[in-house]
Amino acid sequence: MTGRTVSGASSTFSDIIADPAIRDRWEKVRRYFFLRESTYDMTNRCNIRCEGCYYFTGAKQFASENLDETAWQDLMTAEKARGITFAVLAGAEPSLVPQLCRICFEHIPLGAIATNGLKTIPKEIDYRIHISAWGNDRTSKETRKADDMLARQMANYQDDPRAIFVYTFTPHNIDEARQVTGILADNGRQVTFNMFSAPVGYQGPLRHTPDSLTRTGKMMAELLADYPRTVLFSQYNIVAHTSEKGLHDLFSCTYPRMNPSTAIGLGRSFRQYRTDLQWDRDAACCVPDTDCSDCRHYAAGSAVVTARMYRHATGRETFAAWLDYVDTYLAVWVRGYTKGASLLSYPVTPPESQ
């Protein structure tokens, strides 16, 4: 999807935030600037095996598990001490080690867990729960080798305000997104969108093409319009995640893997711990072993786009687009944060670096 190109005339920041709607949203989101994330692989096991799974690519899948709760307590204490305020628990399947998830929550009370949703995570672990959906049940059966996934996921997280579904678009499940979103809407659930991003070296059928990106953007826009209370997304999310350019080419990725600077921001604080509690700066990003040129991953965008506030503050429209993106990001990732109405109802083109 391409966006409306905004005129080149720059506005001052004070002019931009003089707009009451923009100022209110700015004041709302800036209260969360304290969030500093790191991610943690919790176990090297999973109860299903999905085609194209980013975890079972590269070296991290071979890291030995560390199930020593004292070691995890020590790690979380150290993480908190160095300023980490948001924990993302992922790989391979965190629900298999709830005792470790609980330790993370007890030390760092804000966070999110990426899960396939087939095993319920105890309610006292009050993180946002991201439940992955890769199509309807027929497609899930083919891609993930699991039966009745959506029904089982919804049953496991019935009336659970922690839960949000994350629908990953591949070139082959674009049309199914309407059916899945309808089911989720009928059951009072929320969904956000992810893009399959190829692991390094992957040339299989799930890699997006220019045509599939266009069709995905169109479907996202339709669902956003048709299910505004169910879909947590914005027009600018669509632009950022379905452009032919990946996130790195659009916004210059700020994760250590692509950003050598350790002066400030993600390059300074972000770490991606493997299950042996080790981390490697050269591989540190939220989706290690993803091909950076094909990365449109929702988690990557949540950091990469939000970090680029400065370049978006050139005019009312680009800044409003950025605010819509950040508002969406916070609603998807932070428990208790409610997304407001989008400021823009149309897409705009991402600005160049200033």
Partner 1 sequence: MWYSLLALNKIADDTLVAHVMVNESSPWFSGHFPDNPILPGIAQLNMTADVIALSKQENLCIKRLSRVKFKRIVRPGERLEIRTQAAETPNLYTFRITSEAQDVCSGTMFLAAKTATDKSLMTIAIDKTIIRIAEIIISELKLEDVTPATLDPDLDLVDEVGIDSMDLATIALVIRDEFGIRIDEDDYPKLTTIRIIAEYVDEKQNSGE
* CB 136 within 8 Å of CB 180: yes
Q: Which helix (H) or strand (E) holds 304?
A: helix 298-304
CB of 287 to partner 1, least distance (A): 21
Considering only residues 82 through 141, tell me which ones interact with partner 1, judged by CB under 8 A: 83
Query: By C-beta, is 159 or 352 nearer to partner 1?
Result: 352
User: Which of 220, 123, 239 shows the shortest CA–CA distance to 169?
Assistant: 220
Other C-beta atoms within 10 Å of 34: how many?
Answer: 10
- Rg, the chain, Cα only: 19
CB of 242 to partner 1, least distance (A): 24
Please compute, for residue 214, the number of CA atoms within 13 A of its CA located in the half-sphere on the CB side: 3
Site string for partner 1, 271-310 (x = CB under 8 A): ------------------------------------x-xx
For 178, the token pair is 């309407």
Which region among 10-18, 112-120, 151-159, 198-206 touches partner 1 (by CB under 8 A)?
10-18
Strand-pair category, 37-41 with 128-133: unpaired
Of the candidate residues 33, 158, 161, 341, the single one contacting partner 1 (CB under 8 A): 33
Of the candidate residues 2, 5, 13, 151, the single one contacting partner 1 (CB under 8 A): 13
Considering only residues 312 through 351, tell me which ones interact with partner 1, judged by CB under 8 A: 313
Considering only residues 171 through 210, tell me which ones interact with partner 1, judged by CB under 8 A: none
CB of 30 to partner 1, least distance (A): 7
Which region among 8-16, 54-62, 66-74, 118-126 touches partner 1 (by CB under 8 A)?
8-16
Query: By C-beta, is 10 or 214 nearer to partner 1?
Result: 10
* CB 233 within 8 Å of CB 220: yes
Site for partner 1 (CB under 8 A): how many residues? 22
Largest separation between any pair of C-alpha atoms in the chain: 57
Strand-pair category, 191-195 with 163-169: parallel
Numbers of helices and strands, H then E, in the chain: 14, 7
Q: How far is CA 157 from CA 106, 162, 182, 220, in A?
A: 21, 8, 17, 24
Of the candidate residues 7, 8, 9, 14, the single one contacting partner 1 (CB under 8 A): 14
Of the candidate residues 311, 334, 335, 340, the single one contacting partner 1 (CB under 8 A): 311
Of the candidate residues 2, 21, 27, 34, the single one contacting partner 1 (CB under 8 A): 34
Question: CA 328 to CA 241: how far, in whole Å?
Answer: 13
- When asked if residue 9 is in the footprint of partner 1 (CB under 8 A), the reply is no
CB of 337 to partner 1, least distance (A): 16
CB of 276 to partner 1, least distance (A): 29
Site string for partner 1, 239-268 (x = CB under 8 A): ----------------------x-xxxx-x
Query: By C-beta, is 122 or 260 nearer to partner 1?
Result: 260
Torsion angle, alpha carbons of 109, 112, 114, 118, to 10? 60
Name the amino acid, one letter, at 295: C
Name the amino acid, one letter, at 219: M
Question: CA 261 to CA 55: how far, in whole Å?
Answer: 26
Q: Which residues bind partner 1 (CB under 8 A)?
A: 12-14, 30, 33-34, 36, 83, 261, 263-266, 268-269, 307, 309-311, 313, 353-354
